[in-house]
Amino acid sequence: MPRSRSEKSKNGEMVMKERIETDSLGTICVPADAYWGAQTERSRRNFRIGAGQEMMPQEVIEAFAYVKKGAALANRELAAEKMSEEKCRLIGEAADEILAGKLWEHFPLVVFQTGSGTQTNMNINEVIANRGNELAGRRLLHPNDDVNMSQSSNDTFPAAMRIAAVRALEETLLPALERMIGTLRTLETQHEGIIKVGRTHLQDAVPIRFSQEISGWRSSLMRDREIIRLLLDPLRELPLGGTAVGTGLNAPIGFDKLAAEKISAVSQKSFRPAKNKFHALTSLDELVAAHGAVKGLACDCMKMANDIRLLASGPRCGLGEIRIPANEPGSSIMPGKINPTQCEQMTMVAVQVMANDTAVGMAASQGQLELNVFLPVCIYNFLQSVRLLADSLDSFRQNCAEGIRANVEKMQENLNRSLMLVTALSPAVGYEKAARTAGRAFEKGISLKEACLELGYLGPDEIDVLLDPGKMV
C-alpha cells in the first residue's frame, strides 16, 4: 500500500493521492495512505457531525482489537479450513499494532453514526485486513470473510462496549478511587483528636471529631468502590456468537465460549459468553447499572467537595475551619483572592457524570425488536464519565486533599460558641429546660453555662462535667 499521502503536481501544488476501493454499493476514492476501506470512507463522508471532536473513543477501538484477535484465534481452532495459521497470525499482529497505539489515525469515525456501530466494526475490519495484507506482501485477508468471520456488527460492537467498560473501570477509575481513599485515610490519622462543631441543615449541631467527618467521606468512597466492583461482573458477559439477531447464524458451535476464553487470555481480563444472546444484543442493563454506580460515586464526590469548600470558606468571613492549598489567583479584579477551584472542577465533573447517566439510560431504553440502535452514544457517555471522574479524583487529591489542614484555633472558637452543646444537658434537666437554656444564651449573647446558672437548673461543677465536648464524640 502506498505510504505517501500527497505528491506535487506539475505546477508545484500538493495534490491528494487516492486509491479506488469497492464495496456492495460500488466504488469510492479513499486516501492512498489510509488503511481503512470503502465502508469506512462512506461513513466518514456521510457523518460529519461534531467538528471532529466526538470521535469513537479509543477505548472502544482497543476493545475491538481484542475482539478481532480473540475471534481469529477461536476460528483457527473451530474452522481451520477457512482461518489459516497465516491469516490468524496477521490478524493478531495488526490487532497488536492497534493496541500499541500505532494505527490510531486510521480510525476517523465519529460517535454519531449508525446506531449499531456497524461502520466502526467495518473500520476495524478494513484496517486489520489492509495492514495484514501489507505485512503479508499480498492480498490475503478480506475484511468481512476473514477479520469478521463468525461475527456480526450486532454482536461485536456490544461486546467491545463491555470490554471497554471493564477495562476503563478496572484500569482507570478504581485505581484513582483507591488513591483518593488512601489520602483520606492519611488525613484522618493526621487530624485525630481534633473536636469541632458538627452541622446539620447548615445549622450548628453537636460536636464531632474532624477525623470522624473525614471518615464519612472515606467510607462513602469505599462503598462506591464496593458497588462498582459488584457491578463489574455482569459486564463480563459477551454477546459474541449471537451474530446478527442472537441465533448464531454463520458462527460455528462453541465459538461464543472459545472466543470469550481467547479474549480473556489476550486482554488479561476475565470474560465469559452471555447466557442469552437475544438479551445481550438488545439490552444494555449491565451498562446502565454500572454507570449508575459511577453516578453514585459522582454524587459522593460532589458532597465531599462541597463540604470541603464550605469548611474552607473565608478566609475571615466564612467558616474557615480548614485550610486548602492556594493553587492560583482567584480573581482578575480582587487582589489576593484565592478560590476553591479543585472543589469546583470536581463538582462540575459530577454534574457531567449525572447528565451522562441520563443519556446512558435513555440510550438503553431504545432496544427495538432484536437490536439496540443507540450503542455508540451509550458507550461514549459511559467512558467519558469514567475518564472524567478518574482524572478529577487524581487532580483533587494532588492539588487539594493532600494539603488539607485543620484550623484548630477556629474550630475551637466555633466549638466553644456552639449552642448545641446544650444537648448534653438534656438528660439532666430535660428537653424543655435545655431548650430554654439555649434560648436564653442566644438572646442575651452569653454562654450556656451562664444561662443555665441564671435559670438555676444546675450548679457550676455539674455544668462543667456535662458540657465537656470530649465526652460528646
Please identify every residue annotated as catalytic.
201, 331
Report the C-alpha gap between 51 and 59 in whole angstroms. 20
Triad 183, 187, 192: Cα angle to 5°: 150
Q: What nine digits make up the cell of 152? A: 456480526
Residue type, 136: A
| C-alpha cell, 81 | 479450513
Query: How buried is residue 464: exposed, middle or buried, by Cβ count under 10 Å (0-12/13-18/19+)?
Result: exposed
Contacts of 231 by beta carbon, 8 Å cutoff, 6+ apart: 286, 289, 290, 292, 293
On whether the CB atoms of residues 420 and 204 are closer than 8 A, the answer is: yes
Residue corresponding to grid cell 490475503: 140
Q: Collapsing DSSP states into helix, strand and coil, what is residue 95?
A: helix
Angle among Cα 278, 281, 282 to the nearest 5 degrees reads 85
Q: Which residues contact 334 (CB under 8 A, 6 or more apart)?
A: none
Q: In the beta sheet, which residues pair with residue 197? A: 207
Separation CA 167–CA 200 (nearest Å): 39
CB atoms within 10 A of CB 439: 13
CB 243 within 8 A of CB 252: no
User: What whole-number distance in Å separates Cα of residue 400 and Cα of residue 372?
Assistant: 42
Which ranges of 332-421 does DSSP label H, i.e. alpha helix? 341-364, 375-399, 408-417
Distance in angstroms (rounded) separating the CA atoms of residues 141 and 128: 8
Write 7-13 long-range contacts (CB < 8 A, 24+): none
Q: Residue 212: CB partners within 8 Å, gap ≥ 6?
A: 473
